[in-house]
Amino acid sequence: MTQNHLLLRTLRGETVERPPVWMMRQAGRFLPQYRALKERYSFFERVRTPELAAAITRMPVDELDVDAAIIFSDILVVPDAMGCAVVMEEGKGPWLPNPIRSHGDVKRLRTPNVEADMAYMEQSISRVVHEIGDRVPVIGFAGAPWTVMCYMVEGKGSKDWELTRRFLVERPDAARDLLDRITETTINYVQLQIRAGASVIQFFDSWAGALSPSLYRTWMVPIWQRLVEAVRDVPVILFARGAHICPTELASLGDVALGLDWSIDPKRARELVPHRTLQGNLDPVLLFADDDVIVNTTTSTINALGVQRTIVNLGHGILPQTPVEKARTFVQTVKEYRS
């Protein structure tokens, strides 16, 4: 039954009556129900307690009637499982107290046994898939290896990821080793998610734009190929934020869907890639604008991307202060869209 859901039909390229809609970071950011849980449990408690993760995952489906659930987690559970500890400080972003700065640091990383070490993820997905039933599909996700490497090298968020870019250029052997290890764990991790019941996998390469097209092509496209080959059983969405080779070159990796950030015109993206599913791409700050601006921008985005092969979403994660009624206006505009 879930297999006939709008999102999956869109990802398979079947004809649909309207595009599906969901929002990146819809689980665990802006809803008051989530904020209440945040008072009582730490970030990793929320992620690693299947009851909590499932409840948070379900919230936007219950509250806003979006067309997909995305499992509540964080891309940094992967480096944490690899032995590069992650500390989440509320309101401050992630902090990795022992960042990777040498080949020695890379060699000290471990290859986790994801079935054992990340069993909470299997349980969380199984639970939420069971609870949601055939209402909407559940999306699993992971960070793309480049973006995970950014945090591991830098140790915290950064504007330009200068240390990581230098690491790539100054220590290519260590960088290759590090990216290989992240890629291997990432593949094991998303396969675990698929076995647990995830119907779609999205990879987040949030800092793709920090690299030149030439470095991105040399280093990251082969990694994308490995990831796409490893996720054969369910549709895959690649979100390479800011990458100038997205969507054109990434579209050639196979029948992948491509996430678009708000830096590209949706009309232009559709001209460049007529035959792939495209997902995006409203600037999340538009959900602070007047209702008519939200309705008009959402409608013109659908007009530009087209009804077919389109998933409406934001161009990056929903912002924590977003008013719930504005998010509802966005979702409802897509649901009521008539071409």
Asked if residue 187 lies in contact with residue 230, where contact means CB atoms within 8 angstroms, the answer is yes
Work out whether 85 is an interface residue with its own copies (CB under 8 A). no
Which H helix or E strand runs over 145?
helix 145-154
Exactly one of 166, 222, 291, 339 binds its own copies (CB under 8 A); that residue is: 166
Stated length of the chain: 339
C-alpha triplet 267, 283, 265: angle, nearest 5° = 15
Exactly one of 44, 95, 120, 288 binds its own copies (CB under 8 A); that residue is: 288
241: exposed, middle or buried (C-beta count within 10 Å: 0-12, 13-18, 19+)?
Answer: buried
Q: Which two tokens stand for residue 225?
A: 């190929």
Work out whether 296 is an interface residue with its own copies (CB under 8 A). no
Q: Which two tokens stand for residue 176?
A: 């290759």
Work out whether 215 is an interface residue with its own copies (CB under 8 A). yes
Work out whether 88 is an interface residue with its own copies (CB under 8 A). no
Which H helix or E strand runs over 47?
helix 43-48
Q: Which is nearer to its own copies, 103 or 244 (CB)?
A: 244
Q: Which is nearer to its own copies, 8 or 168 (CB)?
A: 168
Which H helix or E strand runs over 258?
strand 257-259
In the complex, the smallest distance separating the C-beta of residue 142 from its own copies, rounded to whole angstroms, is: 21
**Which of the 8 DSSP states describes residue 209?**
G
In the complex, the smallest distance separating the C-beta of residue 59 from its own copies, rounded to whole angstroms, is: 23
**Which of the 8 DSSP states describes residue 317?**
P
Give the footprint of its own copies on residues 245-284 (CB under 8 A).
Answer: 262-265, 268, 283
Give the number of residues in contact with its own copies, rule: CB under 8 A: 32
In the complex, the smallest distance separating the C-beta of residue 187 from its own copies, rounded to whole angstroms, is: 28
Work out whether 159 is an interface residue with its own copies (CB under 8 A). yes
Work out whether 214 is an interface residue with its own copies (CB under 8 A). yes
Work out whether 242 is an interface residue with its own copies (CB under 8 A). yes
Q: Which is nearer to its own copies, 188 or 206 (CB)?
A: 206
Q: Which is nearer to its own copies, 77 or 269 (CB)?
A: 269
Exactly one of 97, 213, 222, 274 binds its own copies (CB under 8 A); that residue is: 213
Compose the 54-83 pattern: x for residues touching its own copies by CB under 8 A, - for all others.
Answer: ------------------------------
Q: Among candidates 80, 317, 115, which has minimal Cα distance to 202?
A: 317
321: exposed, middle or buried (C-beta count within 10 Å: 0-12, 13-18, 19+)?
Answer: exposed
Work out whether 315 is an interface residue with its own copies (CB under 8 A). yes
Three-state SS string across 181-206, please?
HHHHHHHHHHHHHHHHCCCEEEEEEC
Q: Among candidates 318, 202, 335, which has minimal Cα distance to 257?
A: 202
Positions in the binding site for its own copies (CB under 8 A): 157-160, 162, 165-166, 168-170, 209, 211-215, 242, 244, 262-265, 268, 283, 285-286, 288-289, 293, 315-316, 319
